[in-house]
Every structure is written in structure tokens, then in C-alpha cells.
Amino acid sequence: MNEGKTVFSQIMSYFSKYEFDRNVKRYKGNYKMRHFSCWDQFLCMSFAQLTYRSSLRDIEACLNAQPQKLYHMGIRGNVTRTNLANANQNRDWRIYAEFAQHLIFIARDLYQNDNLADIDLGNIIYALDSTTIDLCLSLFPWAKFRKRKGAVKLHTLLDLRGSIPTFIEITNGSVHDVNILDVLIPEAGSYYIMDRGYIDYKRLYRLNKELSYFIVRAKKNLKFKRLYSNRVDKSTGLRCDQVVKLSGYYKKKDYPETIRRVKFFDAENDKRFVFLTNNFEIPAFTVAGRGVYGGGGITPDIFIVQDTLNSFELEVRRNNVFFPFAVDFLSKVDIDENFYVEDELFDEFLDSILEKDIEFTDEELADSQSWLRNALEAQIISNKFGLKEGNKIAIRQDMQLQATLKLFEQYGSLKEMFARADELAQE
């Protein structure tokens, strides 16, 4: 007989029901509610997120497969597609938005003292970017993007300490990135790192007046008048560090003050980057730092090619074969920390793949057998002993991480490792 709370209940115990109920009361979320409260809805949707449920039918079938355990999960209402659909459609979204902000506040507090690699700044540093999510126009007629295509755009402000999203705005796909700066509430003393899609000097000047700092990629057609040049060490990749004033009637009107222009050459990729910032105190190398790829990202000192999943492995991942097989296996067999996937168990797992109508050849199986065994073992260990133990198994297949661990074994200190990185950069 199981003793204590279920794993799901233990996870959800970190969420303050008191704060959640305050939001429900504020927006009358349970007004005229009979059998399915806002808390029930939150638990069901959290379970769906954690277990990769793909539809309301999937949520209903999964939870009602073990109805006697719903009470121990904290769910008191009837889990039906109708209840879930009505709750998702009619409940006030601000209940969950404000609860999310409460959780973000807690998470940010935990990471506030973390140091960012290669950046000696104590200020809060944000990264602002957006991504377009394609939608079917016939199913989502409100998501107008193009004549025959629907989409929404997700604008995200990420706190780089902890990679925590602090602001999310969903708009039509046709809304330009720069418009989100009108919605953003700047924080004095914080840094906002953006790509050149956010170039709008009137809006950037607003950040400057609010005592916030920005670092943004400059456009190629930038026109300016140089006022002063600081000395730079060109061996680091820096080409210039200038104080400039924008040229052109409208640009000077939108941003009347001086601005800093830093140019950086990425020798490895043979690319030049120009950055603009309103901070004149931090080192130029902190502004430009390392080479940035066209879509973002930091140029590594030592590059290790990461293995990618082939089509067969992707199909297994998409069909979520590992989790239900691990749950079924652990319901029949008890294991210890020395567990590994034996041939008989692996054959049963292959049968479960075939039951999902996933076809594969002997050659594909031979290429993917190591990955399948490792992923299955990691999932079973994770279900039994927790995600931390499961990750210890999963990282065996992470070639980048394994190469990193070898570097730590090879070099006695970070100073030696950085010296080797400098040697590789000069080669």
C-alpha cells in the first residue's frame, strides 16, 4: 500500500492555494460554480502540461483511468471534456495570469544572486524577443496573419538570471516586434538586450528617460556623426567604441541625446556586428562580448557537434511512448538504483512502439538501439526515483556535456581551461 502524497500532489504543494483563492475571489471565478472549481481546472491543466497530454479527450481519459486517485491529487470535481472546455472558455484569464506573476516573483527571488557567465554586472538583465506560431486559419479565424495563413506572435521578456519569463504578450502575427515596447513597463537600472527588429529611436529614448539601459543591434543603414572614439584592444575582436549622434531630421528629433556605438568582428564566422547602447560606463567588450550568430546565441570557445535525433527517434518522441510504458512497467515490477534495461524488457518496449503504428527497419533499430535503451532507462529511473536521478542516465547520450566533463577532468582549474580556449581561438 502506498503511503504519503502522490508525486503530483507533492509538486502542487509548492503552489500557494491561498494566493490562488485570492485571485479567484477577486475575479469571481467560482461564481455559480457547481461541480468544477477553478482549482480543479488548474490541477487538471497542470497535470496535462506535466504529462504531455495533447487534447481534452486525452486529459479526460488519462485522469479517469484511475478515478480513485483523483481525490489524493486534490481534484474534487468531475473531470469531463465539457467541464474542461467550459472552464477554459469562460473563466477569467486574469486569475491565472496574476497567479503566474506571483510564481514568477518567487522564482526570480531564488535566482537574484546568481552570476551570469562572462558578464560582470549586478543589474537585472532582460532579453526581449518574439516568435511566430503558425495556426490553421480555418480553425482559428481570429488569428489573421496573411491571406491564407493564420498565426499569433508570442512576445517574451526573459530574465537571464534563471531564464525566467517575466512578461509574455500574445498578439496577432502581423503585429511588428517594436510595438511591444509600448506595452513594456521599463525598470530603472535594468538592461534590455534586443535584436535590430526593435530599432525605433523614439521608443528607445523612452527607455533612456526611464533610466533603463538598452543594448540593441544596429541596422546597416545607420547614419550618424562621430563625436568621440575610445581606445579598444582589437585583438579581442573589438573594432571601435564611439560616442555618436544620430543624423537625419526625424532620428535626431526622436533621440536627441548622444548614443554609444560599438563595433565587433567575429573572426570565426567572418561577420561584423554593430551594437548601440545608452550606457557609457560598462566595458565595450561587455556590450559586444562575443560573436553573435544571425539568430542569436553565443559563439563557443570549443565547438562540439551535438547529435540530433533521426526520423525514427523523433517519431518515438512525438508519440510519447516512454512515459506510459514506464508507468505500466513500474506498476508490475519494483526496481532499485542498479536497474538497467534487459533484452526481454527492451523487446516488450519495441512491441509497444509497434502498437503505436511506428514502423522501423532493422538498420534504423541498430542505429537507434543505444539511444532507445538509454531513454527508456532514464524514464523508468525518473518515474521511480525522481527527475534528478533520471537526468543522470539521460546525460550519457549528451555528447556536448560529456565533452565538457572530460575538459574538467583534463584541466585542473578554470584558469588552465580558459588558457586552452585562448590557444584554440588563435589557431
C-alpha cell at 34: 457547481
Find out whether 197 and 132 touch, Cβ atoms under 8 Å: no
**Domain 112-288 -> CATH class:** alpha beta
Quote the pLDDT of residue 1. 47
Distance CA(15)–CA(6), nearest Å, equals 15
Q: What is the mean pLDDT of each run of 10 residues along the chain (427 residues)?
A: 75 89 90 87 92 88 88 89 91 90 82 66 83 86 82 89 84 89 86 90 91 90 89 85 90 92 86 90 77 44 65 78 85 86 89 86 87 88 80 78 75 70 62
In the prediction, which pLDDT does 425 show? 56
CA distance 324 to 328: 6
Phi and psi angles of residue 230, each rounded to the nearest 5 degrees, phi first? -90, 155
2/4 Cα distance (integer angstroms): 7
Predicted confidence at residue 203, as pLDDT, reads 92
pLDDT given for residue 306 in this prediction: 59
For the chain, what are the domain ranges?
7-99, 112-288, 311-400
Return d(Cα 281, Cα 276) in angstroms, integer: 13
User: 287 and 273 in contact (C-beta within 8 Å)?
Assistant: no
Residue pair 98/23 in contact (Cβ under 8 Å)? The answer is yes
Range 346-368 burial, b when 16+ CB lie within 10 A, else e: eeebbebbeeeeeebeeeeeeeb
Q: Can you give the chain as a three-state secondary structure string?
A: CCCCCCHHHHHHCCCCHHHHHHHHHHCCCCCCCCCCCHHHHHHHHHHHHHCCCCCHHHHHHHHHCCHHHHHHHCCCCCCCHHHHHHHHHHCCCHHHHHHHHHHHHHHHHHHCCCCCCCCCCCCCEEEEEEEEEEECCCCCCCCEEECCEEEEEEEEEEECCCCEEEEEEEEECCCCHHHHHHCCCCCCCCEEEECHHHCCHHHHHHHHHCCCEEEEECCCCCCEEEEEEECCCHHHCEEEEEEEEECCHHHHHHCCCCEEEEEEEECCCCEEEEEEECCCCCCHHHHHCCCECCCCCECCCCCCCCCCCCHHHHHHHHCCCHHHHHHHHHCCCCCCCCCCCCHHHHHHHHHHHHHCCCCCCHHHHHHHHHHHHHHHHHHHHHHHHCHHHHHHHHHHHCHHHHHHHHHHHHCCCHHHHHHHHHHHHHC
**Block residue for cell numbers 527508456:** 376
